[in-house]
């Protein structure tokens, strides 16, 4: 059996699991990073500049009256229908397997905290039996990356080490959210923008 996210073979003591422990830990980290008063969602909300037309924030394009893409992205992500709804869709999905508790609504921050919390709490169970963990992991990571890219503002996008997905290749690529594409130095495989962003992140010892 292999982990359905990173394809590494599962250890004997991981029998019955769909994903390996490192992948589970990464998902748990990403859920934790999003929620709470100091989490990415809360910090992203702070990036919204009311009356953005004359905002002095770093996202301003300088063209009077023109839309401000970064600010609109922040609004889209933080509003109902954004991150909160993406997470809640997973909560409903997991709940149908008896793996999460649907929240009672409330303020957006509260809904985020609830959704991330119930998913986090049930992750060890889900690791054994949820059929779409790879998709879930990818979406949570994408949300985290989007938040971090917007919070970082106009600093160069952070590079994240990811695992080459060629069979038998243990090459590590460094991708950022704005990468046009990457090539694995170990095996020479080329990844387009979308493909590169779907590779599984790895934690480096350094
Ligand atoms: Zn894995
Ligand atoms: Zn490779």
pTM, two decimals, is 0.67
Single residue among 137, 155, 173 that ends a domain in this structure:
155
In a domain, 205, yes or no: yes
In a domain, 61, yes or no: no
Measured CA to CA, the distance from residue 190 to residue 52 in angstroms comes to: 40
Angle at 187 between CA 186 and CA 193, to 5 degrees: 95
- 134 Cα to the center of ligand 1, angstroms: 9
In a domain, 101, yes or no: yes
Segments forming the whole domain that contains residue 165: 157-206
Give mean pLDDT in consecutive 10-residue pieces for the chain, a chain of 206 residues: 91 91 96 95 82 45 54 89 97 97 95 98 96 96 93 72 93 86 94 90 70
In a domain, 37, yes or no: yes
pLDDT score for 55: 41
Instruction: Kindly state whether residues 77 and 30 are assigned to the same domain.
Output: yes
- 7 Cα to the center of ligand 2, angstroms: 14
Measured CA to CA, the distance from residue 100 to residue 175 in angstroms comes to: 32
In a domain, 114, yes or no: yes
Instruction: Kindly state whether residues 142 and 168 are assigned to the same domain.
Output: no
pLDDT score for 54: 41
Which ligand is the nearest neighbour of the Cα of 6? 1
Instruction: Kindly state whether residues 105 and 178 are assigned to the same domain.
Output: no
Q: Is 120 helix (H, G, I), strand (E, B) or coil?
A: helix
Domain count, the chain: 2
In a domain, 82, yes or no: yes
Instruction: Kindly state whether residues 103 and 170 are assigned to the same domain.
Output: no
DSSP state of 2: B
Measured CA to CA, the distance from residue 179 to residue 6 in angstroms comes to: 21
pLDDT score for 156: 62
Instruction: Kindly state whether residues 84 and 38 are assigned to the same domain.
Output: yes
Q: Is 50 helix (H, G, I), strand (E, B) or coil?
A: coil
Instruction: Kindly state whether residues 149 and 173 are assigned to the same domain.
Output: no
Measured CA to CA, the distance from residue 168 to residue 162 in angstroms comes to: 15
Which ligand is the nearest neighbour of the Cα of 2? 1
């Amino acid at each position: 059996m292999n982990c359905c996210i990173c394809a590494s073979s599962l250890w004997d003591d991981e029998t019955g699991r769909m994903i390996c422990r490192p992948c589970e830990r990464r998902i748990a980290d990403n859920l934790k990073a999003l929620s709470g008063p100091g989490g990415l969602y809360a910090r992203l909300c702070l990036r919204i500049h009311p009356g953005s037309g004359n905002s002095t924030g770093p996202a301003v394009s300088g063209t009077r009256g023109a839309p401000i893409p970064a600010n609109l992205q922040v609004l889209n992500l933080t509003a109902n229908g954004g991150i909160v709804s993406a997470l809640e869709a997973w909560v409903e999905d997991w709940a149908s397997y008896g793996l999460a508790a649907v929240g009672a609504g409330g303020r957006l921050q509260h809904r985020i905290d609830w959704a991330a919390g119930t998913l986090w709490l049930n992750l060890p169970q889900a690791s054994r039996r949820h059929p779409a963990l790879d998709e879930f992991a990818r979406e949570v990571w994408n949300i985290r990356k989007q938040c971090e890219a917007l919070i970082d503002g106009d600093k160069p996008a952070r590079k994240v080490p990811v695992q080459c997905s060629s069979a038998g290749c243990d090459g590590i690529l460094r991708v950022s959210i704005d990468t046009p594409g990457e090539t694995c130095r170990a095996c020479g495989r080329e990844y387009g923008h979308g493909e590169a962003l779907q590779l599984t992140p790895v934690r480096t010892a350094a």
